[in-house]
C-alpha cells in the first residue's frame, strides 16, 4: 500500500479536549452499553439489538407521523408527503430486520427464552402508538401499561386523538367532497370502520386525478404505508413461526395465531376497496 494512503490528512481534527465528538453527539456510551445479556448466550446479543434498533426506527416513524398528521389537519398536504415517504422507507428497514432475526434457530432461542420472563414485543408501546396514529384503536391494550401511569396517560391521549386517516378524511371534506358527518365527528378512540361516503369520495379523487392531485398523492402515500405495515406484520408472523412454531408467546398471547388474525385488519379500507371499482 502507498505510504501516503496510510497518513491522515493534515486538516483532520485530533484534539477533542474542548470539543464534542461523534460519540458525544450520539451518546454512544449510553446506546452501546445497553445490550445486557441475561443468559450470556452468544445469540442473545442478536435478539437484543434487533429489538432495540426496531424501537429506534419506530421512534422516527412516530416523529414523522405526528408531524404529518399536523400538516394534513392544517390542509398543508405537500409537506406531509415527504414525511410519509420517509415513514414507508423506515418501514423497509423494519421489514428487513426480520430477515436478520430469522438467522436465530429454534435451538439457539430456547437457550435464553426463559430469561425473558413475561416480557414480549406485544408490550411495545411505540408499536401501539403507531397503530393508534394509523387508526387501529383498541382500548383494551391500555391495561398492559397500568403499572406505568405516565405511559398509560400518553397512550390514552393518543387513543382519543384523530388518526392520520381521520385527518385525511377531513381533508376530503374540506375540498367539498360529501362525507358522512359521523366520520367527521366521532369517538376517535374506536377503531375506524369503512364508510360508503368515504369510499365514494376517494373514487371521485381517483377518477379525476388532475383536479385532486394532492389528495390522490396523499391516498397513494397511505397505501404505501399500509402495504409496508402489512409486510412487516407478515414477516413478523413468519419469523415467530420459524423460531418458536405455535408456542404461546412469552407475554401470554397465542403467538402465531394472534399474529395471523392481525393480518386481516385494514387501516385504510376504502383505499383498497375502490381498486375493484375503478
Q: What's CA 137's distance to the chain center, in Å? A: 14
Q: Which residue has the higher pLDDT, 5 or 34?
A: 34
- Report the C-alpha gap between 197 and 174 in whole angstroms: 14
Q: In this predicted model, what pLDDT tens digit does every residue of 135-185 receive, in sequence order? A: 999 999 999 999 999 999 999 999 999 999 999 999 999 999 999 999 999
Return the pLDDT at 3.
Answer: 56
Binding-site residues from annotation for heme? 236
User: Containing domain of residue 143, as a range?
Assistant: 42-112+122-244+268-273
Please write the tens of the pLDDT for every residue from 107-127: 999 999 999 999 999 899 999
Give 8-55 pLDDT, tens digit per residue: 788 889 889 999 999 999 999 999 999 999 999 999 999 999 999 999
Annotated binding site for substrate: 47-51, 109, 113, 250
pLDDT one-digit tens code per residue, 81-96:
999 999 999 999 999 9
In a domain, 251, yes or no: no
Q: Write the DSSP assignment of 196-251 as a string of letters.
A: HHHHHHHHHHHH-TTTTHHHHHHHHHHHHHHHHHHHHHHHHHHHHHHHHTTPPPTT
> Looking at the domain assignment, is residue 27 inside a domain?
no
- The answer, yes or no, to whether residue 62 has pLDDT greater than 70, is yes
Q: Is 47 helix (H, G, I), strand (E, B) or coil?
A: helix
Query: In the chain, how many domains are there?
Result: 1
Mean of pLDDT over the chain: 95
Taking the C-alpha atoms of residue 77 and residue 179, their distance in angstroms, rounded to an integer, is: 19
70 has a pLDDT exceeding 80: yes
Q: How confident is the model at residue 2 (pLDDT cuts 50, 70, 90)?
A: low
Asked if residue 144 is part of any domain, the answer here is yes
> Tell me: the pLDDT tens digits for 171-191?
999 999 999 999 999 999 999
CATH number at residue 178: 1.20.58.480
Residue 32 lies in a domain: no
Is residue 194 one of the residues assigned to a domain? yes
Q: Do the domain assignments include residue 128? A: yes
Annotated binding site: 47-51, 109, 113, 236, 250
In a domain, 236, yes or no: yes
Amino acid at each position: 500500500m502507498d505510504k501516503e494512503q496510510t497518513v491522515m490528512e493534515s486538516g483532520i481534527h485530533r484534539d477533542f479536549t474542548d470539543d464534542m465528538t461523534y460519540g458525544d453527539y450520539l451518546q454512544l456510551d449510553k446506546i452501546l452499553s445497553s445490550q445486557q445479556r441475561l443468559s450470556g448466550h452468544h445469540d442473545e446479543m442478536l435478539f437484543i439489538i434487533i429489538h432495540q434498533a426496531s424501537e429506534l426506527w419506530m421512534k422516527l416513524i412516530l416523529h414523522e407521523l405526528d408531524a404529518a398528521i399536523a400538516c394534513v389537519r392544517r390542509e398543508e398536504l405537500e409537506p406531509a408527503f415527504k414525511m410519509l415517504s420517509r415513514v414507508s422507507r423506515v418501514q423497509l428497514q423494519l421489514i428487513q430486520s426480520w430477515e436478520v432475526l430469522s438467522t436465530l434457530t429454534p435451538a439457539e432461542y430456547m437457550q435464553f427464552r426463559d430469561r425473558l420472563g413475561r416480557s414480549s414485543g406485544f408490550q411495545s408501546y411505540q408499536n401501539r402508538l403507531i397503530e393508534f396514529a394509523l387508526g387501529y384503536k383498541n382500548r383494551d391494550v391500555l391495561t398492559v401499561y397500568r403499572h406505568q401511569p405516565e405511559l398509560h396517560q400518553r397512550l390514552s391521549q393518543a387513543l382519543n386523538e384523530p388518526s392520520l386517516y381521520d385527518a385525511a378524511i377531513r381533508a376530503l371534506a374540506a375540498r367539498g367532497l360529501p362525507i358522512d358527518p359521523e366520520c367527521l365527528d366521532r369517538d376517535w378512540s374506536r377503531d375506524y370502520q369503512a364508510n360508503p361516503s368515504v369510499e365514494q369520495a376517494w373514487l371521485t379523487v381517483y377518477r379525476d386525478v388532475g383536479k385532486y392531485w394532492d389528495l390522490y398523492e396523499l391516498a397513494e402515500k397511505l397505501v404505501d404505508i399500509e402495504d409496508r405495515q402489512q409486510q412487516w406484520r407478515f414477516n413478523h408472523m413468519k419469523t415467530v413461526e420459524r423460531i418458536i412454531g405455535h408456542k404461546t408467546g412469552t407475554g401470554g398471547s397465542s403467538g402465531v395465531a394472534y399474529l395471523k388474525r392481525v393480518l386481516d385488519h385494514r387501516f385504510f379500507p376504502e383505499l383498497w376497496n375502490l381498486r375493484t371499482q375503478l
